[in-house]
Amino acid sequence: MDRVKTYIEGFDEALGGGIPKGHVILITGTPGTMKTTLTFSILYNNVKHGAKGLYISLEENYEDVKGAMADLGMQNLDDMELYLLDVSKIRLEHKEEETSKNWLEVLTRYIEQRVKVNKFDLVAVDSLAALYSLYRMENPRRELFHFFGFLRSLDATTFLISEVPSGENGRLSRYDEEFLADGVLVMRHFEMGETDVQLRVRCVKMRRAKHEQGYFALMQNNGSFTITRPISE
Amino acid sequence: MDRVKTYIEGFDEALGGGIPKGHVILITGTPGTMKTTLTFSILYNNVKHGAKGLYISLEENYEDVKGAMADLGMQNLDDMELYLLDVSKIRLEHKEEETSKNWLEVLTRYIEQRVKVNKFDLVAVDSLAALYSLYRMENPRRELFHFFGFLRSLDATTFLISEVPSGENGRLSRYDEEFLADGVLVMRHFEMGETDVQLRVRCVKMRRAKHEQGYFALMQNNGSFTITRPISE
Amino acid sequence: MDRVKTYIEGFDEALGGGIPKGHVILITGTPGTMKTTLTFSILYNNVKHGAKGLYISLEENYEDVKGAMADLGMQNLDDMELYLLDVSKIRLEHKEEETSKNWLEVLTRYIEQRVKVNKFDLVAVDSLAALYSLYRMENPRRELFHFFGFLRSLDATTFLISEVPSGENGRLSRYDEEFLADGVLVMRHFEMGETDVQLRVRCVKMRRAKHEQGYFALMQNNGSFTITRPISE
Amino acid sequence: MDRVKTYIEGFDEALGGGIPKGHVILITGTPGTMKTTLTFSILYNNVKHGAKGLYISLEENYEDVKGAMADLGMQNLDDMELYLLDVSKIRLEHKEEETSKNWLEVLTRYIEQRVKVNKFDLVAVDSLAALYSLYRMENPRRELFHFFGFLRSLDATTFLISEVPSGENGRLSRYDEEFLADGVLVMRHFEMGETDVQLRVRCVKMRRAKHEQGYFALMQNNGSFTITRPISE
Amino acid sequence: MDRVKTYIEGFDEALGGGIPKGHVILITGTPGTMKTTLTFSILYNNVKHGAKGLYISLEENYEDVKGAMADLGMQNLDDMELYLLDVSKIRLEHKEEETSKNWLEVLTRYIEQRVKVNKFDLVAVDSLAALYSLYRMENPRRELFHFFGFLRSLDATTFLISEVPSGENGRLSRYDEEFLADGVLVMRHFEMGETDVQLRVRCVKMRRAKHEQGYFALMQNNGSFTITRPISE
Amino acid sequence: MDRVKTYIEGFDEALGGGIPKGHVILITGTPGTMKTTLTFSILYNNVKHGAKGLYISLEENYEDVKGAMADLGMQNLDDMELYLLDVSKIRLEHKEEETSKNWLEVLTRYIEQRVKVNKFDLVAVDSLAALYSLYRMENPRRELFHFFGFLRSLDATTFLISEVPSGENGRLSRYDEEFLADGVLVMRHFEMGETDVQLRVRCVKMRRAKHEQGYFALMQNNGSFTITRPISE
């Protein structure tokens, strides 16, 4: 089975070679756990190796994401096959209409068309919480079943960013997306002793992959991520 | 009393010889605890030894389940008496009609007919949460009483997969299915120290069996599972 | 005051001689804690010593209970004065009518008549949760007060099985039945270290008895139960 | 200020001489913590020393309470100035009418008249939870303010038994009666190590008394209670 | 900035000289933590030093409060400029009318007039929970904003007693009064080992004061309070 | 990228040079954690270095804030380009009209105009909870998305104070503002042993900054803050 590399040093081995192509992956964590950066870096590095990527930002605007990524060494986006859709801009400009739209449908149609036309290999949606704030689902699990089914039917690997508020320790998603997803990567701040905090990543679930179960310390340097086995206190 | 072997090395002994035939078994756990794989392997190995099995997938599609199982060494499904019903496909094709159906009734009729005609010895439903997302019960415990009663009336042993969201530590089911079931196997990730995570299985309940009560470490290798007594930290 | 023996080796002494005759006893615990077996064994052993018993099963059917008990060495039920009422069978046959009945009233009338006619010394209802799923009470505590009052007015000792879902640590009942009952026996799985699980029993409350307060390890062998003082880790 | 002795050996000293006369005292605890016995013993022993007592039982019947107390050595109630009102009997006989009554009002009128006529020095109501199951208050805190105000206006010391369900650790009352009461005695089961359970009592609050704050082990022997400083594990 | 002394020995230093004049202070704690006594003693001691005080009791009556304070050595209230308003008496006498009144408004008008006429320097309201039981606010935070604003506009320092039920560990107020208040003093029972309980006080917040952050043991002797640094176990 | 200095000694380095200009920052903490003082000091010190600041107080009045800041050494506000808007005053004067206004809109218009006219570099809103008590949002996350989008569109750096009630350990915001914000600073009281309490600050999130993750002890002296690495017990 083909694999999409994460280009996180050490992590592709821990995943048993990378993420199985075509999977729908949930990237989940509390605020400040670098969900956007990590996801973006996966798309960025794959595009640098010849893939095509689509990053859909529902809340942060184009300039902010681009600038943030450039800071971290992910530059020259305009020259790359990495397309950044800024839904936040559309929302801010069309504030009045936004409540009447079925945004899940809009997003589905948009992704469908763009993947068909542009042959994107990787798609990211940042974030599910932003999507839910735009559109209130009648029966979340059923509608999400169809959304996940649609994403899986694409010829692309998808990343969905899930925001978990601080203080709800252990929850990974709001509507059990963790069961619908093919893979779940959780980012977590570990308090070390009373003062230090370390960022860690764990692959909770990855269908069709022999992955490691434990936590890895996650470091970022110039836009490239590395994992190491954390040393316990 | 006749027993259905799980073919998990070491576990049939821990169950006092296997699962009593005709039982309705709950397989429960948080995401990534291999509920699908374990359940499928029980059917697969029984079919290899001459039984007939029906695996009903309400969310994952046929190709994904089949592919995942093939990866793990469970191949040649097409040549075996292991039938895989892909409800997810029906759902994706008939998206509009799905909300109007009493899926619990549909499932009951389908299983009844197939077991009568095909003489299935083992039936698995993956998952209860998916079923509940399709059909909202008026009085869950009463309707489930009748569903469990129906399953018990069949000449088959049934496995129901129950998904417990991360962060609800200790819950085994949504509507107390744990009391209606004849047996409950719980799969759980144990955090070992600060970084390692070990998968374990425990038989919480097994009517008419002298089973062991504690946790076992669960390992999978080429589609065959083994348990061992975990070494504490 | 007369006592009903539990015939659990060592436990009658811990209860100060047994359960006071005429008491309404709550048997409570999470799934797999042998509530049904323990309660049945109390009736079985009393009947073997000359008493008459009525076991009312609201969810498990006659054959299953009988078979399970036979497995554990409690055989020849048909030749004994131990009557097993299978409400589950009635429910499965009359599925349509069940919602319209006031099952609490039905149960009350049935028990009243049978105890009057057959002079039962012990009555067990398995379980309260099943009863509540059949009939939704307007004012639970008031209706239960009258139900408990009725049971106490009988010339029999009653056992009510209360199911507590896993994950609700410490709760003993849903509608404070623990206050209405004359006695409460709680069954509990203790995790010993990281892997072992031990079944224990504790008498939380027993009116008119000088009972011990602590936990006892509970073992079952060939249908006869024994308690011992657990050795702490 | 005059004091009502509890006749619990060692406890009157811990209360700074006993309970101030005229106080409304909350006796609170989970099931099996001997709230009824302790409260009854306070009335019993005061009556033996010349006082007059009224014990109002809303759920347990006359014979059961009397029998239980006799077991514990509190005998000859019929020859004493300790009147036991059995509301449970009235309730069981007039099941139909009970829902239409304002039981808080009924209770208030009854107590008022009896205290005026019989000059009771001590009154106990067992229990508040039973009272609430009979009569649903519109604005609990306001109605209870008036009920407590009424009790305080009597020439008697009152004891109100409050039942706290297991599993709600730390709560003392349902509608903040703990703030309205002049004194609060809490009874609690302490798990000692993994197997032992010890009953303890603590005076959380006692207006107009210099009382000790900590827990005491509570023992009962032949109807007389003693406290000791518990030895920690 | 002028300061109101608490006359709690050692505490005024811990507050950086006392409570800033004109502040609205929340005195919060579970039952039995001496909120009333402590607050009353602050008024009493200030009045002894020449200030004028108004103590508004919404639940406890005049005689009880006066008696309790006299017990603790705070005597001769009638000769002092410490006025005690007994709302509880008004409530008990006018039970019927009480539900129709906007008590927050009534209280506001009363305090306004009395402070203007009598020039009170200190005002205490005992308690907020009693006030809320009398009058249900539409939008608590907005109405309380105006109530706090009104109190701050007075030429007086105000003390509001807030009752926190046992078992809600860590909460300080019901409607976030802790944010509206200028200062918050929390009283807390600390369980020391398994049997002892120590009363402690902490200044969580005091605008415009350099106060200490930690807990102090609080002792009372003859109506005068002292704090000490608690010795840890 | 330009940075706004916090002028908290040691903290700008921990933030990787300060707060990125134009960011919307959430300042969050329980009562008494100096949120107002810290935020005000950031504005004050920036203004002293040539910037222009607008501090909007929704609950505390002008004199109180000004006085409190003067106490801490932040004086001569009237001579500085630090404008303090006292919404609390407007609210107290126009109590009747306040409920009919869309205060989020009012605030948006006000800030927009003032920033355009006065060229403010820093804006602070104290607090979000006060804003929510004035105006109940239909769909909080959507309305806040637009509010945050508006703030980000300004040529200013914004600080929003978020109040977290004691007892809700770990929550940072009410409507997931923590995800919408570009940066989150959390202030927290740490209980050290049983009696001491230390104030600490942590940067949970700061987009476009390489900031440290851990906790720092926060000290204040004459209006200037300093951080140090806390020494663990």
Closest by CA to A36, choosing from A55, A21, A51, A23, is A55
In this complex, which of F146, F171, F232 lies closest to A193 when CB atoms are compared? F232
Mutate to test the interface with D, among C213, C216, C232, C233 (most CBs of D within 10 A): C213
Q: For residue range B113-143, what is the model confidence (pLDDT) as tens digits? A: 999 999 999 999 999 988 988 888 888 888 9
- In chain B, residues with a C-beta closer than 8 Å to the C-beta of A184 are 31-32
- In chain C, residues with a C-beta closer than 8 Å to the C-beta of D100 are none
- The region that residue D170 occupies, defined by phi over 0 for left and psi between -120 and 50 for alpha, beta otherwise, is left
Cα C203 to Cα D203: distance, rounded to the nearest angstrom = 26
Parallel, antiparallel, or unpaired: how do β-strands E183-192 and E157-163 relate? unpaired
| Minimal-distance CA residue of chain A relative to B163 | A179
Please report which confidence band the pLDDT of residue B221 belongs to, taking 50, 70 and 90 as the band edges: confident
pLDDT above 60: residue F232: no
- Tell me the HSE value of B115 on the side-chain side, using a 13 A CA sphere: 22
D230, D42 Cβ separation under 8 angstroms: no
Closest by CA to C120, choosing from C86, C149, C159, is C159
Tell me if B179 and C64 make a contact (CB, 8 A cut-off): no
Fill in the amino acid letter for A79. Answer: D
pLDDT above 50: residue E233: no
D80, D50 Cβ separation under 8 angstroms: no
Which two structure tokens, joined as six digits, stand for C5? 């023996």
Residue D188: helix, strand or coil by DSSP?
strand
Residue B42: per-residue pLDDT: 97
In this complex, which of B134, B168, B169 lies closest to A142 when CB atoms are compared? B134
Phi, psi of E189 (to 5 degrees): -85, 120
Tell me if E229 and F163 make a contact (CB, 8 A cut-off): no
| Minimal-distance CA residue of chain A relative to F26 | A31
Q: What is the DSSP string of chain F?
A: --EE----BTHHHHTTSSEETT-EEEEEESTTS-HHHHHHHHHHHHHHTT--EEEEESSS-HHHHHHHHHHTT---GGGTTEEEEEHHHHHHHTTTGGGGS-HHHHHHHHHHHHHHHH--SEEEEE-HHHHHHH---SSHHHHHHHHHHHHHHSSSEEEEEEE--TT-TT---SSSHHHHSSEEEEEEEEEETTTEEEEEEEEEEETT-----SEEEEEEETTEEEEEPPPP-
Q: Calculate how close chain B gets to A116, using CA atoms only, in Å.
A: 19
Give the residue ranges of chain C where pLDDT is below 50. 232-233
Residue E196: per-residue pLDDT: 86
Tell me if F172 and A165 make a contact (CB, 8 A cut-off): yes
Phi, psi of E8 (to 5 degrees): -85, 120
Q: Residue E63's Cα: distance from chain center in Å?
A: 19
Residue E169: per-residue pLDDT: 62
Q: For residue range F171-181, what is the model confidence (pLDDT) as tens digits? A: 788 888 999 99
In this complex, which of D149, D205, D206 lies closest to E92 when CB atoms are compared? D149
Kindly provide the b/e burial profile for residues F158-168, where b requires at least 16 CB atoms within 10 angstroms of the residue's own CB.
bbbbbbbbbee
C26, C174 Cβ separation under 8 angstroms: no
B10, B228 Cβ separation under 8 angstroms: yes
Cα B130 to Cα B133: distance, rounded to the nearest angstrom = 5
- In chain A, residues with a C-beta closer than 8 Å to the C-beta of B91 are 145-146, 149
CA distances from E39 to B216, E56, E190 (A): 59, 11, 20
Enumerate residues 6+ apart whose C-beta is below 8 A from F166. E170, E171, E172, E178, E204, F30, F31
Cα A84 to Cα A58: distance, rounded to the nearest angstrom = 11
Enumerate residues 6+ apart whose C-beta is below 8 A from F88. E145, E149, F57, F58, F59, F60, F61, F62
Residue A110, classified by CB atoms within 10 Å of its CB into exposed (0-12), middle (13-18) or buried (19+), is middle
Please report which confidence band the pLDDT of residue F138 belongs to, taking 50, 70 and 90 as the band edges: confident
F130, F3 Cβ separation under 8 angstroms: no
Residue A206: per-residue pLDDT: 95
Q: Calculate how close chain F gets to A68, using CA atoms only, in Å.
A: 5
Enumerate residues 6+ apart whose C-beta is below 8 A from C126. C35, C36, C39, C55, C56, C57, C58, C59, C60, C161
Tell me if E190 and F194 make a contact (CB, 8 A cut-off): yes
Q: If you search the block for the tokens 């670098």, which residue do you land on?
A: A34
Q: For residue range F25-65, what is the model confidence (pLDDT) as tens digits? A: 999 999 999 999 999 999 999 999 999 999 999 988 888 89
Tell me if F176 and A163 make a contact (CB, 8 A cut-off): yes
Closest by CA to D183, choosing from D27, D4, D1, is D27
Gyration radius of chain E over CA positions: 17
B3, B18 Cβ separation under 8 angstroms: yes
- The region that residue A151 occupies, defined by phi over 0 for left and psi between -120 and 50 for alpha, beta otherwise, is alpha
Residue D45: helix, strand or coil by DSSP?
helix
Strand (E) or helix (H) holding D198: strand D196-206
- In chain C, residues with a C-beta closer than 8 Å to the C-beta of D196 are 213-215
E29, E188 Cβ separation under 8 angstroms: yes
Q: What is the percent of chain F where pLDDT is above 70? A: 96
Q: For residue range A86-104, what is the model confidence (pLDDT) as tens digits? A: 888 777 777 766 767 788 9
pLDDT above 50: residue A109: yes
B192, B158 Cβ separation under 8 angstroms: no
Mutate to test the interface with A, among F24, F142, F150 (most CBs of A within 10 A): F142
Q: Calculate how close chain B gets to C133, using CA atoms only, in Å.
A: 6
Cα torsion at D147, D153, D154, D158 (round to 10°)? Answer: 50
Tell me if E173 and F195 make a contact (CB, 8 A cut-off): no
Residue A154: per-residue pLDDT: 93
Cα A37 to Cα A21: distance, rounded to the nearest angstrom = 21
Tell me if B31 and A179 make a contact (CB, 8 A cut-off): yes
- In chain C, residues with a C-beta closer than 8 Å to the C-beta of B203 are 32
pLDDT above 50: residue F233: no
Q: Calculate how close chain E gets to F1, using CA atoms only, in Å.
A: 36
CA distances from B215 to B11, B186, B188 (A): 11, 9, 9
| Minimal-distance CA residue of chain E relative to F92 | E146
Q: What is the arithmetic mean of pLDDT over F104-109?
A: 91
Residue B233: per-residue pLDDT: 42
Closest by CA to B148, choosing from B169, B170, B131, is B131
DSSP classification of residue E231: P
Closest by CA to D209, choosing from D26, D5, D46, D19, is D19
DSSP classification of residue D68: H
| Minimal-distance CA residue of chain D relative to C203 | D32
Please report which confidence band the pLDDT of residue A228 belongs to, taking 50, 70 and 90 as the band edges: very high
Q: Taking CB atoms and an 8 Å cut-off, how many pairs form between chains A and B?
A: 97
Query: To the nearest whole number, what is the mean pLDDT of chain A?
Result: 90
Mutate to test the interface with F, among E1, E179, E200 (most CBs of F within 10 A): E179
DSSP classification of residue E51: -
Mutate to test the interface with D, among E65, E166, E198 (most CBs of D within 10 A): E166
Mutate to test the interface with E, among F166, F174, F221 (most CBs of E within 10 A): F166
Let me know if chains F and E touch, i.e. at least 3 Cβ pairs under 8 angstroms. yes
Residue D10: per-residue pLDDT: 96
- In chain E, residues with a C-beta closer than 8 Å to the C-beta of F199 are 213
Tell me if E208 and F71 make a contact (CB, 8 A cut-off): yes
Q: If you search the block for the tokens 């939008």, which residue do you land on?
A: E139
Residue C223: helix, strand or coil by DSSP?
coil
CA distances from D100 to C145, D104, D135, F185 (A): 17, 12, 9, 57
Q: What is the arithmetic mean of pLDDT over E145-157?
A: 93
Residue F229, classified by CB atoms within 10 Å of its CB into exposed (0-12), middle (13-18) or buried (19+), is middle
Which two structure tokens, joined as six digits, stand for E167? 């078992």
Cα E141 to Cα B64: distance, rounded to the nearest angstrom = 53
Fill in the amino acid letter for C87. Answer: V
| Minimal-distance CA residue of chain A relative to B30 | A179
Enumerate residues 6+ apart whose C-beta is below 8 A from D156. D22, D115, D120, D121, D122, D123
Q: Taking CB atoms and an 8 Å cut-off, how many pairs form between chains D and E?
A: 97
Closest by CA to E23, choosing from E211, E183, E160, is E183
Give the residue ranges of chain D where pLDDT is below 50. 232-233
Stretch among D214-228, E8-22, F113-127 having the lowest mean pLDDT: D214-228
In this complex, which of C139, C145, C179 lies closest to D31 when CB atoms are compared? C179
| Residues of E contacting chain D (CB within 8 angstroms) | 31-32, 59, 61, 64, 67-68, 71, 88, 91-92, 95, 98-99, 127, 129-130, 132-134, 163, 165-169, 189, 192-199
Enumerate residues 6+ apart whose C-beta is below 8 A from F193. E232, F233
| Minimal-distance CA residue of chain A relative to B197 | A214
| Minimal-distance CA residue of chain A relative to B69 | A208
Which two structure tokens, joined as six digits, stand for E84? 């005690």
Parallel, antiparallel, or unpaired: how do β-strands B215-221 and B196-206 relate? antiparallel
CA distances from A21 to A124, B75, E124, E227 (A): 14, 21, 69, 67
Tell me if B232 and C195 make a contact (CB, 8 A cut-off): yes
- ipTM value: 0.88
Q: For residue range E63-84, what is the model confidence (pLDDT) as tens digits? A: 889 988 998 889 888 889 999 9
Residue C100: per-residue pLDDT: 72
CA distances from C33 to B95, C37, C67, F50 (A): 43, 9, 18, 72
Let me know if chains B and A touch, i.e. at least 3 Cβ pairs under 8 angstroms. yes
Tell me if D169 and E169 make a contact (CB, 8 A cut-off): no
Q: How many CB atoms lie within 10 A of CB D165?
A: 20
| Minimal-distance CA residue of chain A relative to B195 | A215
Stretch among A103-112, B96-105, B221-230 having the lowest mean pLDDT: B96-105
| Minimal-distance CA residue of chain A relative to F175 | A165
Which two structure tokens, joined as six digits, stand for D215? 């827990």
In this complex, which of A166, A193, A199 lies closest to F213 when CB atoms are compared? A199
Can the peptide bond before residue C173 be classed as cis, meaning omega within 30 degrees of 0?
no
Mutate to test the interface with D, among C1, C138, C142 (most CBs of D within 10 A): C142
Stretch among B213-222, C178-187, E90-99, F103-112 having the lowest mean pLDDT: E90-99
Please report which confidence band the pLDDT of residue E138 belongs to, taking 50, 70 and 90 as the band edges: confident
